Homo-oligomer: A and B are copies of this chain.
Amino acid sequence: MLYPEPIQDLVQELAKLPGIGPKTAQRLAFFLLNMPKGEAEQLAQAIIQARQRIRYCSECFNFTDADPCFICKNPARDAGWIMVVEHPKDVVAMEKTREFKGRYHVLHGAISPMEGIGPDELKIRELVTRLERVNPKEIVLATSSSLEGEATALYLARLLKPMGFKVTRIARGLPMGGDLDYTDEMTLTKALEGRQDI
């Protein structure tokens, strides 16, 4: 036995988090034990509160503490412009640009036959129902440019275009600051395909 049981438990629970191995878990556990007691309990309470108060928005399926979420209930956001993303964290990333004035739809994943995730495991049925209701003027597919993200975008395009919707895909190309020399061929191919008049 290396630790008293409560420390052992804490190390085990921390080690379940992504990117946290046994050594980091131990370091975090000792840090939590050395913190002022109130602060450690604030973290515990924040976890409990987040789990109790956060659920999916019934409209866009983003995380929210009120239904509909603050984006879906904001009249300044264009309800006719819908961006489809894989994860809630993608909404955060896009919001940071302050460029997108429409609303989101969070799929909670991407199609991945390898992991047994098909369209039914994602919020695609909910997307179709929503689109039929709001009849948007444009649907932007902003899934990632991984194999799974591309497959999901292709699936959605084939599903939604025959329904008469305008469907677009965010551009793939050279990232800002990117060097051609260090860019993989797939990215360069996409950058060439997506070239525009300047």
Q: Is A128 an interface residue (CB 8 A)?
A: no
Q: Is A186 an interface residue (CB 8 A)?
A: no
Main secondary structure of the interface of A (DSSP, over half): helix
In the complex, the answer to whether B29 meets A18 with C-beta atoms within 8 Å is: no
- Of residues 60 through 105 on chain A, the ones whose CB sits less than 8 Å from some CB of chain B are 63-66, 69-70, 87-89, 92, 95-96
Number of copies: 2
In the complex, the answer to whether A33 meets B92 with C-beta atoms within 8 Å is: no
CA distance A65 to B1 in the complex (A): 13
Given contacts A46-B13, A50-B33, contact A92 B27 (CB under 8 A): no
A193: chain B residues at CB < 8 Å are none
CA distance A9 to B48 in the complex (A): 11
In the complex, the answer to whether B50 meets A31 with C-beta atoms within 8 Å is: no
Among B1, B47, B53, the residue within 8 A (CB) of A43 is: B47
Which range contains the number of A residues in contact with the other chain?
35 or more
In the complex, the answer to whether B65 meets A5 with C-beta atoms within 8 Å is: yes
Interface segment, A34-42, A119-127, A145-153, A161-169? A34-42
A–B Cβ pairs within 8 angstroms, 20 of them: A2-B92, A3-B92, A4-B63, A4-B69, A5-B65, A6-B49, A6-B50, A6-B65, A9-B46, A10-B47, A13-B43, A13-B46, A17-B32, A18-B27, A27-B89, A30-B87, A33-B50, A40-B47, A40-B50, A44-B48
Other A-B pairs beyond A9-B50, A18-B27, 10, CB < 8 Å: A3-B92, A4-B66, A7-B50, A13-B46, A16-B39, A17-B43, A26-B89, A26-B92, A30-B63, A33-B50
A interface vs B, CB < 8 Å? 1-7, 9-10, 12-14, 16-19, 24, 26-33, 37, 39-54, 63-66, 69-70, 87-89, 92, 95-96
